[in-house]
Amino acid sequence: MFQIWTSQGNQIVLPARYIDELKMLPDTKFPSALRVFFLGTYLWPVDQWRLDYVQKGVHKDLIKHLPTMFADANEGTDRLVSLEFPQCPDWTPVTVYPKALRVVSRINAKTLIGNRLEENEEWIDISTSYTRNIFVSSAKLRLFPAFMRPVAQYFIPELKSVWRCNKRARDIIAPILAERAVREKSGDFKKPHDSIEWFRDDASNPKDKQDPQLHALAQLLLGALSVNTTTQLITNSLFNLATYPEYVPILRQEINDTYKANGGKWTMDSMAQLQKLDSFIKETLRHAGHLTLTFHRLALEPIPLSDGAQIPKGSTAFSPANAINFDPDLYPDPDTFDGLRFYNLRHSTPENAKKYQLTSLAVEQMQFGAGRHACPGRAIAGHQVKLILANLLNKYELKLKEGEGRPKTVLFQTNQFPDPQGQVLFKNRKG
């Protein structure tokens, strides 16, 4: 365990051996530090505690409604992919990230909010820009001392964009809430199974049930926590499919065999049978996770550790996810991309059958976090990635541009992004 200086001040780097004893500590002692990271008082014009509805709703309701969400995602994938990815009768360069971003934004809108927002271009424009702008706004704000931020905020273009999106989203959500209120009073209301109702059910203050600004921010935050990370994983997977074409026939065969064996339809059970695709995606995540550091925590009191060390009060701490991902003691030949690495590990012993799935939680791979604040949406995100990749592999051949290598990963502070301008050649498959 050691300490380094970052743009957030001094932070403690936690070796993997401490994660199990720390991951379930209550928020009164060792909460997530993401709110500190985002400097949310400058981003979101509500009392910050009110945004806890997002955390409550996601943890309480997302898993409960996973079958419905999967059905919505499955029903919309082909149509929504076709809206963004073009017909390519000949080899055509496609800038992957923005296409994937719009597909994921549309599917998320369909599964989480409904009300046909997946077809609302203004909502999709807001969703696709919001995540980047809140991250960049926070990063730029942290360049200033705390006493300068109240003035500096007015000179950050991305932050101004966040404020505009907050207002635009409020104007879109407001009539949805108003219509539901009218229908509730009339008795003609069948409660939808969507995230708007999750947050309304969890609201402790009756006014919060109908506050359009609060609900707009909740939806934007929910999207920010899911859209960009899912998009990055899809983009990096497509880059790797073009870079390592030897895996394409292997994965296509598995996809086609699984689809036929399950009556020509995708279900959550049939998704679980795509073990080679699952392994390929997980290896992509190991090589290019969206964060170099995870398990961000803030010590609200001194935290004693089992070996006698202590995390001081007021310290922020994290786990070095990238260092773990490339540890040769955990992953032999770690710099080599082995798309079937986790498939082979799963089949090496009976005990490993579930340990090395894409969405499994383990100290050997920390991209989804651990414990109380592990990503609650990893299951639906994993299904979305598989549905979209299976659809694209069925429709297109892929390859890199002649003479060019895999598009580079962009590192910004603790974030890793696939090249947003990176291109892959697409061509319609025959038949």
pLDDT reported for residue 121: 95
153 pLDDT higher than 90 = yes
CA distance 288 to 296: 19
Percentage, residues of the chain above pLDDT 90: 60
358 pLDDT higher than 80 = yes
Q: How confident is the model at residue 166 (pLDDT cuts 50, 70, 90)?
A: very high
Closest C-alpha to 162, from 324, 263, 3, 45: 45
Most confident residue range from 82-86, 200-204, 368-372: 82-86
* pTM for this model (two decimals): 0.92
pLDDT digits (tens, 9 = 90+) for 393-428: 999 999 999 999 999 998 877 788 899 999 999 999
pLDDT digits (tens, 9 = 90+) for 306-346: 999 999 998 889 989 899 999 999 999 999 999 999 999 99
pLDDT reported for residue 182: 87
pLDDT digits (tens, 9 = 90+) for 96-130: 999 999 999 999 999 988 888 999 999 999 999 99
Residues 6 or more apart from 179 whose CB is under 8 A from it?
none
pLDDT digits (tens, 9 = 90+) for 359-399: 998 888 888 888 888 888 888 999 999 999 999 999 999 99
1 pLDDT higher than 80 = no
CA distance 249 to 238: 14
131 pLDDT higher than 90 = no
pLDDT reported for residue 185: 84
Q: How far is CA 177 from the centre of its chain?
A: 26
pLDDT reported for residue 252: 97
* Ramachandran angles phi, psi of 362, nearest 5°: -160, 155
For 148, counting Cβ atoms within 10 Å of its Cβ (0-12 exposed, 13-18 middle, 19+ buried), the class is exposed
pLDDT reported for residue 239: 98
36 pLDDT higher than 80 = no
Strand 310-311, strand 303-304: pairing:
antiparallel
74 pLDDT higher than 90 = yes
- Contact call for residues 77 and 84 (beta carbons, < 8 A): no
Task: Give the residue-averaged pLDDT of 162-190.
Answer: 90
Task: Give the residue-averaged pLDDT of 257-266.
Answer: 95
pLDDT reported for residue 431: 63
Closest C-alpha to 287, from 344, 239, 329, 319: 239
Pick the more confident residue, 123 or 60: 123
Quote the mean pLDDT of the chain. Answer: 90
pLDDT reported for residue 48: 72
pLDDT reported for residue 9: 67
SS (H, E, C) 99-159: HHHHHHHHHHHHHHHCCCHHHCHHHHHHHHHHHHHHHHHHHHHCCCCHHHHHHHHHHCHHH
Task: Give the residue-averaged pLDDT of 154-161.
Answer: 96
60 pLDDT higher than 80 = no
pLDDT reported for residue 8: 64
The CA-based angle 190-192-198, given to 5 degrees, is: 125
